[in-house]
Structure 1
């Protein structure tokens, strides 16, 4: 049974694929034309942004959801047509079958209506399943897309807003998850059937069709007026949310200063004022939404009462049959459902726009490199800096006319106590920053003429403070790739650092990361970071005062490791310790005029 179900699923997927390839583009075009102007503008902005930037993956997100969109569209269309079977069957039963006592016809009609209701239920269940899967697929693709954009953004653009705000922007994706590919499509497919239902009411009852039409006009007017108020409240809430979130991020980033100055009470009072405004706005939005729901319920009751009252008079006068009155009552109720959905959709669009703006802010982040540039060729390790200059008014560590020629396998030392920041040179070699003047060459190739992501695997950067990801030592050594385990074990043994790891209670399975990093010796963590940087087989190592906080014993181990890997890699090392710098082939000091040779 399971095998048969599996084959049926595969066939269904193939059928859906054929339908989507044939009709998918037309369906998407129809849906786009039915969208409100605000939604059209957002989608057009997304498309222009994707074409104007190096971010063509956005189109892939939409294309990956085409099959689901087509399935939801056709299932909704078929379900709406099948929903006509029930009121029309009741019309026949009361007007023809009961007066004529036609039992055989009744049996056939009951079979037809039961079949149509079963098909309608099955289509709606299928629609719900496909819609949920498409929503999840869309969310996964968009999440990956936006996170990739954040990771590949320029460092100064990312740091300008901070990690907290970027996280808030990424969380905005959840609001879109069930909107564009589920709720929106269903509502837009259901809406045209209002006119079909009204046409049937007019055909059956004549002038009684004016009752649902007038009530629909009143409902549309009232909901539009209240919707504008909700829209204004939502904009105010967004502004207040931004102020509150910025204040939270600022307070948490400066928590040490807050505690040191005893400012907890002042910070709390300020937060309470920001939160009170947000709470009042939430209350007003809820009140407006509840009033709208009460209005919709009142209109639905008036629709039933007026149709029943005036329709009964029409039946008594002989202008309409009892079956026609029952059918019109059911059809009039069906008319209100799409309107209610569209009203809810229009209200939700106001909230969705806030989430879209946050997502567009991520897409607006400038990328640090053009992914369409060619990949960097295999690196040997030669480095050339030609007339490099950094001159920023806000930065005291500026320099000019820096020239450096490093051969593959050389070890170059830099004094770490210089007032000028050697770390900036390292960031230039990594391509994280661009020089205002001059050029950076690796193996005589200008690094900015290539895709920087293809260059980064050849360069290992060891910062002052070790950053470990949550996980085990082995997971950090292998970058969470099981294929690198043998390489990591061999590397740690050859460097003579496996003994330090194996002495730990859990060895390579020792947990490191946010909470456990302080429990391990800094020397051990730094040794692990060196081994981790070599697992990817880089050709260049940038050692940025990675031993500044180590004790003498750990420093000696680091020195021994550097001696072992010397001449096998191109090493640029910044340090304050002469014992480490002495093993370098050359030592430089960075000054305003450039690099000056230094001797110990």
Structure 2
């Protein structure tokens, strides 16, 4: 999923319920709340000095009529003082709001990530990574902009509008009424027109993005384009798209032209109308003097600009409230009962016997499909048990249930004779390690990836784990050795190298129960040999559960389970199962052309 742009964020209706939810952000302000309220005081002071400016400007102009130079000097100094105060008040307002916002959002970001990382696998199986990324990036950014500037500006503009109208009414009720009839309407019209033009501009951007997709697809699949001699087809496809861009852009240009004409004719026409009517009232003596007229025009300009800005700010606040609701939806999700700190002093070590007793399970997203149906088996300490069967039979599900990624619907899973739900998750998962088919490494160094199995491991322990995992040779072949960056998801390493890093990681963890989920199925013969040798070392002295497609890798297992349609249809050693006439295991062996 593409990252949601802030402009595309949905808006929430502003009502008491949505605002009450949004105010929960103050819970994360902790001891920084006072900064917001002191910032509001400076906001009021900023607005007050802004409202004083047009009045003083009018008084300064009146000095021309009165020919009073001393008064002019005093008012000019007063104006400079007002501007200096406004600058100081604005500095503290912005600084305090930014300080409050950044500290609050830092706490929200951490709380969101902490809750997210502790949510159960059932949550992640129903959510897309792109959507979750958007919550942390676009939604938080929207909150950042809103609390840093938008709310403050919205309140400031609102105060300017209300205060401006009160002062205008005191200068000339007639002129105020006339201004009220035209200026706000034209300002709102300009906002609506401007928003329409922005939407049209977005259409152009979308079409440009679509044309870029064509270029990207063509270049990525250039082999196919060349092989089919379809250069003409791709050129035509691209030409059609850029022709669409031209049409929309020209249309958008025309609308921008209309908008410019609208601004010149209507907005400046309103100013002319207000000035004309003000002069008329001044000549008639209904407005005291030129100074009051200048003040009136400045207040009108302030109010018109505020009307224009406040509508956009209101829309931004709606988006922020919507973003807050989505962020708190994640924060309200119930996490797993797992600690975020590790007790390295007294880790509980399990022996590693496993018993599945009539376990039934369906995935939360597909409750109508029963993946496991009354599955039962026992694994003694130190045994190697293999689970085979067709795709979708439930093999990997057994590993997920053992790790308590999901809750079972019925039956019991015991480890060392104790129900797995009686263990805390740190103890349970701390005694297990999984080596999957598709190993995903973190983007740091080889050393960091191996140490992920035991973050406080010594250099010697990491070195020994790499050696036992048959990884030392290729690691030492890199110039940076253990400090080699593996790249995103381990992309700089081959599949076999990634597998051996994962085995080294598991060795370092020293688990009681080892789960191998088709750990060699995607490797070439040479890599498989090296990985298999490392796995044999890894499986020594611990309970091992091997999920496999390639039956050649499990012939030495102490017990083989054949899963089919959610049940254990066959159970026994390789020799016992191969001897079953028309057995599923025997049929699977035949299909793989394995020479037994």
Asked if structure 2 preserves the Cα contact closer than 8 Å seen for 1:153 and 1:366, the reply is no
In the other structure, the counterpart of 2:374 is 401
- 1:429 CA displacement: 1.2
- 1:428 CA displacement: 1.2
Say if 2:538 is the partner of 1:572: no
Partner SS for 1:38: coil
In the other structure, the counterpart of 2:44 is 77
Partner SS for 2:13: helix
Asked if structure 1 preserves the Cα contact closer than 8 Å seen for 2:150 and 2:316, the reply is no
Distance 1:147 1:521, change over 3 A: same
| CA distances 1:73-107 after superposition (whole Å, capped 9, x unpaired) | 3332211111233323234334468736362x544
Say if 2:434 is the partner of 1:461: yes
Q: Residue 385 of structure 2: which of 400, 406, 413 is its match?
A: 413
In the other structure, the counterpart of 1:334 is 302
In the other structure, the counterpart of 1:384 is 355
In the other structure, the counterpart of 1:325 is 293
RMSD: 5.2
For 2:368 and 2:129, locate their aligned partners in 1 and report how far apart those are by CA, in whole Å.
23
- 1:117 CA displacement: 0.3
| CA distances 1:205-231 after superposition (whole Å, capped 9, x unpaired) | 342222322224523764687699799
- 1:502 CA displacement: 1.7
Distance 1:560 1:192, change over 3 A: same
Q: Which moved more, 1:276-285 or 1:528-537?
A: 276-285
Asked if structure 1 preserves the Cα contact closer than 8 Å seen for 2:338 and 2:426, the reply is no
In the other structure, the counterpart of 2:82 is 116
Map 1:262-281 to 2 at 5 A.
none
Distance 1:515 1:282, change over 3 A: farther
Asked if structure 1 preserves the Cα contact closer than 8 Å seen for 2:386 and 2:546, the reply is yes
Say if 2:513 is the partner of 1:547: no
For 1:388 and 1:551, locate their aligned partners in 2 and report how far apart those are by CA, in whole Å.
36
For 1:75 and 1:379, locate their aligned partners in 2 and report how far apart those are by CA, in whole Å.
59
- 1:528 CA displacement: 0.8
Asked if structure 2 preserves the Cα contact closer than 8 Å seen for 1:414 and 1:574, the reply is yes
Asked if structure 1 preserves the Cα contact closer than 8 Å seen for 2:440 and 2:489, the reply is no
Distance 1:91 1:415, change over 3 A: closer
Asked if structure 2 preserves the Cα contact closer than 8 Å seen for 1:540 and 1:569, the reply is yes
Partner SS for 2:172: helix
Asked if structure 1 preserves the Cα contact closer than 8 Å seen for 2:143 and 2:324, the reply is no
Distance 1:129 1:391, change over 3 A: closer
- 1:569 CA displacement: 3.9
Say if 2:176 is the partner of 1:209: yes
Say if 2:478 is the partner of 1:504: yes
- 1:456 CA displacement: 3.7
Asked if structure 2 preserves the Cα contact closer than 8 Å seen for 1:460 and 1:538, the reply is yes
Map 1:303-314 to 2 at 5 A.
303-314=270-281
Say if 2:13 is the partner of 1:38: yes
| CA distances 1:284-316 after superposition (whole Å, capped 9, x unpaired) | 899889867875665542443233223223333
In the other structure, the counterpart of 1:178 is 145
Distance 1:418 1:342, change over 3 A: closer
For 2:389 and 2:235, locate their aligned partners in 1 and report how far apart those are by CA, in whole Å.
41
Distance 1:465 1:387, change over 3 A: same
Partner SS for 1:469: coil
Say if 2:563 is the partner of 1:590: yes
Map 1:347-386 to 2 at 5 A.
347-348=315-316, 352=319, 356=322, 360=326, 363=329, 370-371=335-336, 378=348, 380=350, 381-386=352-357
For 1:581 and 1:175, locate their aligned partners in 2 and report how far apart those are by CA, in whole Å.
54
Partner SS for 2:274: helix
| CA distances 1:570-589 after superposition (whole Å, capped 9, x unpaired) | 33222456775466554433
- 1:438 CA displacement: 1.8
TM-score by length of 1: 0.70
- 1:161 CA displacement: 6.1
Partner SS for 2:516: strand
Asked if structure 2 preserves the Cα contact closer than 8 Å seen for 1:42 and 1:356, the reply is no
Distance 1:268 1:169, change over 3 A: farther
How many pairs were matched up? 543
Partner SS for 2:40: helix
Give ranges in structure 2 of 5+ residues lacking alignment: 1-10, 576-596
Map 1:246-265 to 2 at 5 A.
none
In the other structure, the counterpart of 1:343 is 311
For 1:287 and 1:128, locate their aligned partners in 2 and report how far apart those are by CA, in whole Å.
39
- 1:477 CA displacement: 1.9
Distance 1:466 1:62, change over 3 A: same
Q: Which moved more, 1:370-379 or 1:501-510?
A: 370-379
For 1:527 and 1:270, locate their aligned partners in 2 and report how far apart those are by CA, in whole Å.
46
Q: Residue 513 of structure 1: which of 487, 492, 505 is its match?
A: 487
Asked if structure 2 preserves the Cα contact closer than 8 Å seen for 1:415 and 1:575, the reply is yes
Asked if structure 2 preserves the Cα contact closer than 8 Å seen for 1:76 and 1:190, the reply is no
Asked if structure 2 preserves the Cα contact closer than 8 Å seen for 1:374 and 1:450, the reply is no
Asked if structure 1 preserves the Cα contact closer than 8 Å seen for 2:453 and 2:509, the reply is no
Distance 1:500 1:418, change over 3 A: same
Partner SS for 1:39: coil
For 2:418 and 2:235, locate their aligned partners in 1 and report how far apart those are by CA, in whole Å.
55
- 1:527 CA displacement: 1.3
In the other structure, the counterpart of 1:491 is 465
For 1:125 and 1:92, locate their aligned partners in 2 and report how far apart those are by CA, in whole Å.
27
- 1:463 CA displacement: 0.8
Q: Which moved more, 1:581-590 or 1:107-116?
A: 581-590
Asked if structure 2 preserves the Cα contact closer than 8 Å seen for 1:379 and 1:442, the reply is no
Distance 1:162 1:269, change over 3 A: farther
Asked if structure 2 preserves the Cα contact closer than 8 Å seen for 1:150 and 1:362, the reply is no
